[in-house]
Amino acid sequence: MSYRITIHVVSVFVAGLTLAAHAQVQVGPQSRVDVTGAGPANETTISVHGNSPLEVLAGANDYGRGGDVKVGFGISLNGGTTYVDGALVPPPPQNTYDAHGDPMTCWDPATGDFWMGGIVFNRNFVENGIYVARKPAGATSFNPAVVVTNNPTGAVFDDKCLIAAGPTTSGSGTMLYVTFTRFGATTNIHVSRSATLGASWLAPVDTGFSGQGSAPVVLSNGTLVIAYWNFGSEIRVLRSTNGGVSFSSAAVSGVIGVPDGGEIPGAFRTPELPGIAVDPSNDTIYVAYSAEKTSGSTNVDVRIARSTDGGLTFPTVVALPDPAIRPTADQFFPWVAVDALGGVNVLYYDTRHTAQSDGASPAFLDAYYTRITGFGTGSQVLEEHRLTSVSFNTGTDFGDGFIGDYQQIAAASVAVYPCYMSTHEGHQHYYTHKIIVGNLPGDMNCDLVVDGFDVDGFVLALTDPAAYNSTYPDCDIQNGDTNGDGSVNGFDVDSFVDLLTGP
């Protein structure tokens, strides 16, 4: 029996597709991002193209580019197999400042482009500010950077910036938000906004709320939600329903204390900076943070709090890792991302593989990844993976005084990319993995997109399965089961064509 398929479609990304979960997630090999950097590098950020999930933008504080610290970047167009790396160049006058840091990235669903930036400052801590640069989709370089804030007198200092892109409240165009703490007369969180795709930025808005580690997301209706630490014992969120003009604040449920440096091995600082993610299919918000196992305990866990009402309340909280491990180890520096199957993906550091006391220096850490399905229900499953093959020594650089202040994870379609620091190569460097969490029906060449380039693979899977498996050794032939009957055969042709030609 033979099959003939005539295709008139060049590329269609399949949105809203029903996806099939693997029995287990597939963790790809570790890939170093700063391949030409001498190190050290820490404090990682990462974003992934939502419609082309093999395109990844990662970054870190990069001390290995000559001179003082830079905002380092790594761009991959092949799912993190290889990276083009370097350092961002700030705009005048900030290109004359001594140091850069606090790297941030985001991806914009409307344009398909990325933005990246960070803070800049002189070591006298007088001149300082924030800048961003736009990276067009598919490019391996950036457009010239643009000033977001610039403070030449030292009256204020802008710190810990992060960026998000999303729809305006009117639904017309993209709004970019950079959130940060402005140290000066207050320690309030401020928000800078751009309605010009980052070409120009409005003066920062003072939210009126003091805090650090502000992490923004934008909901489908344009609501801005920002998770932050209030410098005390709470993780909170700010909400703005008018485009970042005014804000309200709400507590994240389930916070049991906030750990300090004495509750974790190592001499490095451990600020309580939360991570945040939104499920674009339903605007469910997840906030990741560290907390004491019980009030007053010196055991630190990761917690993920969920809101289904746009950040007004967070009634459901899940603790990581497995309860059998939690009494004997610490977990910290969490970040969270949601994949297209609704899985909640969490990255964090873990101390479980070395017997070590709190405050012992140096510490020995591992990067861990956990995927949560059935979040907060009776059918909840936690699938955990150790990402580092050996525990790494935090004293390798900076005398155990600094390993960065955060790390991030990103997801698109069925691909998840954790980005973390390790010292196993002799210095602090940063790494990613491509993690596949489910099948994408019709994706026969494993580029995480269903388009005309899958036709040859689909035909081969129908006519010669052995040849398909040989030609595409890293692919799952069951992606050809587009009608979901458990078999790859001629009955899948119509549904495969529908995937290519449908919305």
The span from the CA of 276 to the CA of 310, in Å, is 13
* Residue given tokens 């017997």 in the structure block: 355
Q: How far apart are the first and last CA of the chain?
A: 30
* C-alpha count within 13 angstroms, C-beta hemisphere, residue 220: 9
Topology given in CATH for the domain delimited by 20-439: Neuraminidase (2.120.10)
What's the per-residue H, E or C state across 166-218? EECCCCCCEEEEEEEEEECCCCEEEEEEECCCCCCCCCCEEEEEECEEEEEEE
| Burial zone of 302 (CB within 10 Å; 0-12 exposed, 13-18 middle, 19+ buried) | buried
The span from the CA of 129 to the CA of 203, in Å, is 12
Strands 70-76 and 56-62: antiparallel
Q: Is 471 helix (H, G, I), strand (E, B) or coil?
A: helix
Q: Domain coordinates of the chain in residue numbers?
A: 1-17+440-503, 20-439
Q: Is 45 helix (H, G, I), strand (E, B) or coil?
A: strand
Q: What is the pLDDT along the chain (503 residues), one digit of tens a residue?
A: 333 443 333 333 333 344 444 447 999 999 999 999 999 999 999 999 999 999 999 999 999 999 999 999 999 999 999 999 999 999 999 999 999 999 999 999 999 999 999 999 999 999 999 999 999 999 999 999 999 999 999 999 999 999 999 999 998 899 999 999 999 999 999 999 999 999 999 999 999 999 999 999 999 999 999 999 999 889 999 999 999 999 999 999 777 777 776 889 999 999 999 999 999 999 999 999 999 887 777 889 999 999 999 999 999 999 998 777 777 899 999 999 999 999 999 999 999 999 999 989 999 999 999 999 999 999 999 999 999 999 999 999 999 999 999 999 999 999 999 999 999 999 999 999 999 999 899 999 988 989 999 999 999 999 999 999 999 998 999 999 999 999 999 999 999 999 998 76
Single pTM value for the model? 0.93
**Residue of 404, 420, 275 lying closest to 337 (CA atoms):** 275
* C-alpha count within 13 angstroms, C-beta hemisphere, residue 459: 10
Q: Which 8-state DSSP code applies to residue 451?
A: B
pLDDT digits (tens, 9 = 90+) for 333-369: 999 999 999 999 999 999 999 999 998 999 999 999 9
Return phi, psi of residue 379, to 5°: -100, 20
The span from the CA of 129 to the CA of 118, in Å, is 9
> Which structure tokens are listed for 61?
């504080």
**Residue of 439, 445, 396 lying closest to 421 (CA atoms):** 396
pLDDT digits (tens, 9 = 90+) for 166-198: 999 998 899 999 999 999 999 999 999 999 999
- Amino acid letter, residue 378: G
| Burial zone of 149 (CB within 10 Å; 0-12 exposed, 13-18 middle, 19+ buried) | buried
- Is the domain 1-17+440-503 a CATH 2.30.31 member? no
Paired with 381 in beta bridges are 373
Return phi, psi of residue 28, to 5°: -75, 175
